[in-house]
Amino acid sequence: MSKLKLSLLISTFILCGLILVDYSVYTDLSLYIKGFLIVPLITYIAYLVTKFKNKKAS
pLDDT given at position 33? 67
The one-letter amino acid at 49: V
Residue 6's pLDDT is 80
Q: State the total domains in the chain.
A: 1
**DSSP code string of 1-58:** --HHHHHHHHHHHHHHHHHHHHTTS-HHHHHHHIIIIIHHHHHHHHHHHHHHHHHHH-
Quote the pTM value: 0.47
pLDDT digits 0-9 by tens, 14-48:
877 777 776 777 766 666 766 777 777 788 888 88
CA distance 25 to 48: 30
Its domain, for residue 27, covers 3-57
